[in-house]
Amino acid sequence: MLMKVAGRRKVAGVRGRTLPAMSTPETSRYVRLRVELVLELTDSAAVTRAALDRIGGDSAMADDERAYTVRAVTEDTAEALAFLVDPPDLVDDVPGVDLLQASWSSEEIDYDPDSPEWGPDEDDVVAADGEVDDGDGGRS
């Protein structure tokens, strides 16, 4: 599975940890934002072509990494999608936030929109008309 990782760094002088020990008041400075998307691939070939085009245009990519990545995105559309999507872009323009660590991956799933497993969870509100309000004004 191809996994893109950005922003990982070790803090100098701390053995065995990636972040220094924090007191209680400091812990509220760090937030883990979890976002899960379920996407329908309507044109797998277009996704693969877009990934291959981006790989071909990346002059900084080493040849061995390019060969591995081309093989991965050609064999698996979910890998091609993971290569194209850049979640850190979600927070690049958010004021007062520094991205410290990010990782993501993709996988093909069995999705049945009519299954209760994929229904609204405790954070969603179902309106009288059956539409789902995610609590942020978004409806589906």
Please provide the DSSP assignment of 106-128 as one string: -------TTSGGGS--TT-EE-T
- Reported as a single tens digit per residue, the pLDDT across 7-53 is 333 333 334 445 566 555 655 788 888 888 889 999 999 999 999 99
Number of domains in the chain: 1
Q: What is the C-alpha separation between 86 and 66, in angstroms, rounded?
A: 18
Considering the domain boundaries, does residue 54 fall inside one?
yes
Asked if the structure places residue 4 within a domain, the reply is no
Domain containing 39: what range? 34-107
Give 109's pLDDT tier (boundaries 50, 70, 90): confident
Span 68-92, pLDDT tens digits? 999 999 999 999 999 999 888 889 9
Query: Global pTM?
Result: 0.59
Domain membership of residue 112 (yes or no) is no
Is position 89 within any domain?
yes
pLDDT above 50 for 121: yes
Residue 127 is predicted with a pLDDT of 54
First to last CA, the chain: 31
pLDDT at 53: 97
Q: What is d(CA 115, CA 118) in angstroms, rounded to the nearest whole number?
A: 6
In a domain, 119, yes or no: no
Q: Per the domain annotation, does 92 fall within a domain?
A: yes
Residue 47 lies in a domain: yes
**Cβ-Cβ contacts under 8 Å for 3 (sequence gap 6 or more):** 82, 103, 104, 105
Residue 93 forms part of a structural domain: yes
